[in-house]
Every structure is written in structure tokens, then in C-alpha cells.
Amino acid sequence: MKSKQWNDPGKKKRAFFALFVLFVLFASAPFLISAGMCASVEDRILSLEDASNLGADAILVLGARVQGNGKPSGILEDRLLTGIAAYQNGVSDRLLMSGDHGQEDYDEVSAMKTYAVEAGIPSDKIFLDHAGFSTYESLYRARDIFQVKRVLIVTQQYHLYRALYVAEKMGLDAYGVAADLRTYPGMPRFEAREILARCKDFFFTLFMPLPTYLGAEIPITGSGDLTNG
């Protein structure tokens, strides 16, 4: 009886169609999630001028690659320049540098602080999050460790959508300024990878896993020098 059912051409076509629809839905899901994420936070991306009246607790500069000589990569330098400009425009008198310092010989955040201090920002106004290993973890720790409530996030625009979405889901009052000051090699690859990263953080914000490290609170209202080293 079973073999006769599967020999029915109509049933074969319906089964094939159902599988095809499932495949299309599965394949398109990352793009739908990505598009929805971007649309939901687009109005929270501001110009530096518009951000100047924000009254943010902190300007969060998200980390990126540091070169072997300790100098920031082009992407990171533009984030730092934009974060410093936001500080100088009065968005906040606190800079929170969040990045990867998971190994002794690789330290994004100290390089970020050195750059900002050399630009004239007082050392005690710059906080370092040494365990900002991902966008999700940087925002989780900004909220829970540094007690930030209203934040201006600084990164490139392709990355800013995800950061703002995660921040909003965590209950932060978050806005962003895009740090696109030049053309970056490999952008098509970064943008393609970002679609997958948006999907990952979409699910992370549903379940809210703990970051790799938490620890004692370091209120952003104190001295940033407590976070050196």
C-alpha cells in the first residue's frame, strides 16, 4: 500500500513543493532577520551634531583589530576619531573602550586608550572593558559592569545596526554614530559575514546568555583609571 501511495505523481509533487518551500524559508531567514534588524533601529543612527544634546552616560567605542606594532587598524582608528569627536562635542564626558584583551600579547583596549590620551582626552575619563570579546558581550558588560543606561555607540554603519538592536533588547537607551571615514578593503566580505552575525545576536537576545566574564561593578561615574591594565 505504501509503495502505491508514493507512486502517485500528485503526492510526489506536493512533497517536493513542500520541501522546496521549507528550503526557501530556511535560506531566506538570515536575510529577513538582517533586514528587520536594520529597519528597527535605523532612526537611532544620528549625526554628530544631533548626538551632541543626547546627554549620554558614555560613548561606547567598539573594538577592532590592532596591528602588530600596537597601532589601530583603519577601521578602529576611524571609530576612535569619531568617538573622540563625540566627546569633544559634549555627547558625554566618559569614553568606554570595549574590545578584546583575552591574551597577554594582544590588547585592543589599551591601544585605544593610548590613542585617545594622545588626542588630549584625560586618562580618568576613559574606561576600558578588557572582556568585550563580541558586540553582545560589550553591551551586556556596559550595562551590568559599567552601569551605563543611556549610551552613544560608535562603530561603522554596517555594524551599528546590530549593536543598536542588541542594546535595545537589553533595555539600554542607545543611539549610534557611524564611523565611516574612509573606504575599507574587504567590505563585501565584512557585510556578508555581518548578516550571519545579526542572526546569531538575534537569537542571543532571545535567550540572553551570560557573557564570558562579569565581575564587580565599575560605575562609569567614577575614574576610568581604575580599569587600566
Paired strand residues for 96: 60, 127
Residues 73 and 156 sit within 8 Å (Cβ to Cβ): no
CATH number of the structural domain spanning residue 68: 3.40.50.620
What band does 25 get if pLDDT is binned at 50, 70 and 90?
low
Which DSSP helix (H) or strand (E) runs through 137?
Answer: helix 135-144
Task: Kindly state whether residue 108 falls inside one of the protein's structural domains.
Answer: yes
Task: Kindly state whether residue 130 falls inside one of the protein's structural domains.
Answer: yes
Alpha carbon separation from 112 to 65, 67, 75 (Å, rounded) = 10, 12, 12
Task: Kindly state whether residue 164 falls inside one of the protein's structural domains.
Answer: yes
Mean pLDDT, rounded, of the chain? 93
By residue range, what is the domain housing residue 194?
Answer: 40-227
> Domain tally for the chain?
1
Paired strand residues for 57: none
CA distance linking residue 6 with residue 126, whole number of Å:
69
Task: Kindly state whether residue 216 falls inside one of the protein's structural domains.
Answer: yes
Percent of all residues in the chain with a pLDDT value above 90, rounded to a whole number: 83
Residues 166 and 204 sit within 8 Å (Cβ to Cβ): yes
Q: What is the mean pLDDT of residues 21-46?
A: 87
Dihedral of CA 206/127/56/85: which sign? Answer: negative
Q: Pairing between strand 150-155 and 173-178?
A: parallel
Task: Kindly state whether residue 181 falls inside one of the protein's structural domains.
Answer: yes
What band does 43 get if pLDDT is binned at 50, 70 and 90?
very high
Task: Kindly state whether residue 3 falls inside one of the protein's structural domains.
Answer: no
Place of cell 566618559: 94
Task: Kindly state whether residue 59 falls inside one of the protein's structural domains.
Answer: yes
Task: Kindly state whether residue 93 falls inside one of the protein's structural domains.
Answer: yes
- Residues 58-112 pLDDT 10s: 999 999 999 988 899 999 999 999 999 999 999 999 999 999 998 988 999 999 9
pLDDT at residue 20, as a whole number: 63
